[in-house]
Chain A
Amino acid sequence: MRIVIAEDSAVIRAGLTELLTDRGHQIVAAVGDADALLAAVAAEEPDVAIVDVRMPPDHTDEGLRAAIAIRRAHPGTGILVFSQYVETRYAADLLRMGSGGIGYLLKDRVANVAEFADAIARVAAGGTALDPEVVTGLLTATRHTAVLDALTPRERDVLALMAEGRSNGAIADRFAVSERAVEKHISNIFAKLGLPPSDSDHRRVLAVLAFLNER
């Protein structure tokens, strides 16, 4: 996989490069700010861009704005936003652009190498990878609690995993139930939230999150 890394901390940049190279990916560019990132993406057309939210000069949300610009100019490039904090607003901004190929992870997650690699693969394939904390944040941020209250605890858990971008199979494994049971939960959730069922994995996630976030 061809990957561009944008991260202002040299230590983390080097670490990511080492880790991903070790897994057989090709790091086509590793840069330290948003302008260099946009240039690198335009030149290299990578499969995935890993983007730190806070970068020079202002250390606020440069990375996120760059991510949105990349999505507009190169819809085919998967974007994994990478942050040291959970900012539900950023996540919501990203997800509102839709069409998958988007991830939002806490930096801590790289310590679990396998899960991190899995998240990159999902984003590259046009799926979604949301940090569990981001999902929790989005669920709590929603003011539409009356509808969420209608869900059973198990249905809430399933919804959270769906939002992270997990497949039905993965959710079934997590709870040690059959895939059919998961499908039943999901159709219940859709019914309670008033969403028409759909067969595309990431579209249902985006629909759910958009629903949670918009109200």
Chain B
Amino acid sequence: MKTQTRVASGQPTVITYDNQVMAESASSPLRRVIEAPFTRRAWTELGYTLASFWLALAAVVLIIPMLLNGVLWAASAGPVRWFARLARILARELLGEDIPAPPPIGPALLRTKVATPDAASAATLAGAAVAAGGKARPWETKPGLTLKKLPLERIEELAAATAVSITIEQPPNAFGNWYGTRAFDPVAWRARSYFGLKLPLAVLGLAVIAACWLGGLFCLTFPAWWTLGLGTAFGMPSLASSFAFLPLGLALLLAGPWLTHGLIEGDRWLIRGLLGPGLAAARISVLEQTRAHAVDDSAARLRGIERDLHDGTQAQLVAVAMKLGLAQEKLAETGEVDLARVAQLVTDAHQGALEAIADLRILARGIHPPVLDNGLADALATLANRSAVPVELVTDIPGRPSAAIETIAYFSAAELLTNVARHSRARHATLEAVHVTGLLRVRVTDDGAGGAQPVTGGGLRGLAERVRTVDGRIEVDSPVGGPTTVTVELPSHA
């Protein structure tokens, strides 16, 4: 089984286990054509075509009269979104097309008209309003401005803070808020265009079903219809000649599922483009996820470092201090000093101090490997030398990627080489790092057992999450039996 994790900008992580596709392609094309009408897919697609036609028809019947004016646009935004939701549910349940819901209707518009004593103070207030996350448009005819997205109290605060005396000419009103957010709701407008394009597609889908499924069945059973006296209507003089329709019926029945499937592919494309959150919103959602991960990741790293310090170095040093304290006390004792015992304590303390130093060195390297300061190529060479499995190193890194990218590339390589040593039973590995226009590619290949999978909580998944925070991507190709290739691609600057 081949497993791929693709992380591309603007797209959530998609992990496909494509053993099913491989099994399908293994059977002969002819067999697939013959079996097509009897597969589960053909029946669900048939069901989807019928159901989605009625949905699109109902939506268009609602939408068309509501296109008359802006107030009707605003009034129909909610119902249109509701129809879009039904279409998403239908696509998810029958086509497995899981589209994330778009964001809800935007926050209140809060359009406020504010008069100011002069144009300069209007500009001051406009600056403060934009800095506070609002929108401001100065008037042309007299001093004042129209503000959006800021509640009245906030505007008064800003005016007080910038020492501008204001007169509210028109406070935000409920109708303005309702109209402003709904009439131009981009989600509703995209949904309207979806249904506008979908309806012809759905009519076509119905025609295909009528022609191929019903027509096909009719042709296949034509001799029976002929005996019922329908034959003459189709210009078939004899029962024998009516069998001429059979090949046509067969061809129609076989073509039907493929035509339906083709139309549905078009529909999927429309659904993805028009019923989802939109490109900007999808990008925001990815950024939110990766930022949350970056924050969690750095917190977890700090916690790990603290734990290492607490359990390792700090404990070691406390023990050293304890032994030295005891030795000091022995030396201060009156009477005969047990020098052998003191010597033993000092030796133990010395040993403990050495261990603490070694612990600290490992810890510091885990935080930031000093060799990375000399460039990624040197750092990767050190890494390759340290690996338990022999590693062949290929680097071509002209110019320097930004420090964050070098660090991520280094730790990715370290993690991948550790995986090779730990899990793959490989005898040989290759570490390749290439830097070409704006892209740094790190690839680790081994001749081990393969079957590597990005499981939740595992190293590969953690790596994918970290790489994703800088819009990078990771691809794992690890069939059972090997070889394994893991490729990490990072933008040079992030």
Chain A residues in the interface with B (C-beta under 8 A): 8-9, 11-12, 14-16, 18-19, 22, 54, 59, 84, 107-108, 110-114, 116
A84 CA to B315 CA, complexed, in Å: 9
A selection of 19 A-B contacts at a CB cut-off of 8 Å is A8-B311, A9-B311, A11-B316, A11-B318, A11-B319, A15-B322, A18-B323, A54-B310, A59-B307, A84-B310, A84-B314, A84-B318, A107-B318, A108-B318, A110-B322, A110-B325, A111-B322, A113-B322, A114-B329
In the assembled complex, B352 has its CB within 8 A of some CB on chain A: yes
In the assembled complex, B326 has its CB within 8 A of some CB on chain A: yes
Which A residue's beta carbon lies closest to that of B356? A11
Residues 318-339 of B, flagged 1 when their CB comes within 8 A of A and 0 if not, give: 1101111110110000000000
A113 CA to B328 CA, complexed, in Å: 9
Which A residue's beta carbon lies closest to that of B324? A111
Contact of A14 among B307, B310, B319 (CB under 8 A): B319
Q: A85 CB to closest chain B CB, in angstroms?
A: 9
The total number of A-B Cβ pairs within 8 Å is: 51
A116 CA to B323 CA, complexed, in Å: 13
Q: A186 CB to closest chain B CB, in angstroms?
A: 32
Which A residue's beta carbon lies closest to that of B327? A113
| Residues on A with beta carbons closer than 8 Å to the beta carbon of B319 | 11-12, 14-15
Which B residue's beta carbon lies closest to that of A116? B325
Contact of B322 among A19, A54, A59, A114 (CB under 8 A): A19
A110–B321 contact, CB under 8 A? yes
A11 CA to B351 CA, complexed, in Å: 12
Contact of B315 among A11, A19, A22, A113 (CB under 8 A): A11
| Residues on A with beta carbons closer than 8 Å to the beta carbon of B311 | 8-9
Contact of B326 among A8, A22, A54, A84 (CB under 8 A): A22
Which B residue's beta carbon lies closest to that of A82? B318
Which label, helix, strand, loop or mixed, suits the secondary structure of the A interface?
Answer: helix
Q: Bin chain B's interface residue count.
A: 10 to 19
Query: Which A-B residue pairs are the 6 nearest by beta carbons?
Result: A111-B321, A9-B315, A15-B322, A15-B319, A113-B325, A11-B319
B318–A12 contact, CB under 8 A? yes
Q: When A54-B310, A59-B307, A84-B310 are in contact, do A112 and B325 touch as well, CB less than 8 Å?
A: yes
- Considering residues A11, A22, A54, A107, which has the most beta carbons from chain B within 10 angstroms of its beta carbon? A11
| Residues on B with beta carbons closer than 8 Å to the beta carbon of A116 | 325
| Residues on A with beta carbons closer than 8 Å to the beta carbon of B324 | 111
A11 CA to B314 CA, complexed, in Å: 10
| Residues on B with beta carbons closer than 8 Å to the beta carbon of A19 | 322, 325-326
Task: Given contacts A15-B322, A113-B322, list 13 more A-B pairs with CB under 8 A.
Answer: A8-B311, A12-B319, A15-B323, A16-B322, A18-B326, A59-B307, A84-B310, A107-B318, A110-B322, A111-B318, A112-B325, A113-B328, A114-B329
Which A residue's beta carbon lies closest to that of B307? A59
Q: A9 CB to closest chain B CB, in angstroms?
A: 4
- Considering residues B316, B318, B324, B352, which has the most beta carbons from chain A within 10 angstroms of its beta carbon? B318
Q: B232 CB to closest chain A CB, in angstroms?
A: 88
Which B residue's beta carbon lies closest to that of A54? B310
Q: B339 CB to closest chain A CB, in angstroms?
A: 15
B321–A108 contact, CB under 8 A? yes
Q: When A22-B326, A113-B328 are in contact, do A15 and B318 touch as well, CB less than 8 Å?
A: yes
A15 CA to B320 CA, complexed, in Å: 8
A9 CA to B318 CA, complexed, in Å: 10
A61 CA to B99 CA, complexed, in Å: 45
| Residues on B with beta carbons closer than 8 Å to the beta carbon of A84 | 310, 314, 318
- Considering residues B311, B315, B316, which has the most beta carbons from chain A within 10 angstroms of its beta carbon? B315
B315–A111 contact, CB under 8 A? no
Which A residue's beta carbon lies closest to that of B315? A9
| Residues on A with beta carbons closer than 8 Å to the beta carbon of B326 | 18-19, 22, 113
A113–B318 contact, CB under 8 A? no
| Residues on A with beta carbons closer than 8 Å to the beta carbon of B307 | 59
| Residues on A with beta carbons closer than 8 Å to the beta carbon of B315 | 9, 11-12
A11–B352 contact, CB under 8 A? yes
- Considering residues A54, A84, A113, which has the most beta carbons from chain B within 10 angstroms of its beta carbon? A113
Which B residue's beta carbon lies closest to that of A117? B329
| Residues on A with beta carbons closer than 8 Å to the beta carbon of B310 | 54, 84
Q: B448 CB to closest chain A CB, in angstroms?
A: 34
Which A residue's beta carbon lies closest to that of B310? A84
A113–B329 contact, CB under 8 A? yes
A107 CA to B328 CA, complexed, in Å: 18
Residues 110-122 of B, flagged 1 when their CB comes within 8 A of A and 0 if not, give: 0000000000000
A111–B352 contact, CB under 8 A? no
Q: B78 CB to closest chain A CB, in angstroms?
A: 48
| Residues on B with beta carbons closer than 8 Å to the beta carbon of A16 | 322
Q: When A11-B352, A84-B310 are in contact, do A110 and B318 touch as well, CB less than 8 Å?
A: yes
- Considering residues A8, A84, A116, which has the most beta carbons from chain B within 10 angstroms of its beta carbon? A84
A84 CA to B311 CA, complexed, in Å: 10
| Residues on A with beta carbons closer than 8 Å to the beta carbon of B329 | 113-114
A68 CA to B369 CA, complexed, in Å: 44
| Residues on B with beta carbons closer than 8 Å to the beta carbon of A8 | 311
A15 CA to B329 CA, complexed, in Å: 15
Q: A182 CB to closest chain B CB, in angstroms?
A: 29
- Considering residues B310, B315, B319, B328, which has the most beta carbons from chain A within 10 angstroms of its beta carbon? B319
Residues 261-301 of B, flagged 1 when their CB comes within 8 A of A and 0 if not, give: 00000000000000000000000000000000000000000
A111 CA to B327 CA, complexed, in Å: 10
A12 CA to B318 CA, complexed, in Å: 7
Q: A181 CB to closest chain B CB, in angstroms?
A: 31
A15 CA to B323 CA, complexed, in Å: 7
| Residues on B with beta carbons closer than 8 Å to the beta carbon of A12 | 315, 318-319, 322
Q: B374 CB to closest chain A CB, in angstroms?
A: 35
A110 CA to B321 CA, complexed, in Å: 8
Chain B 45-76 residues near chain A, CB threshold 8 A: none
Q: A118 CB to closest chain B CB, in angstroms?
A: 12
Which A residue's beta carbon lies closest to that of B328? A113
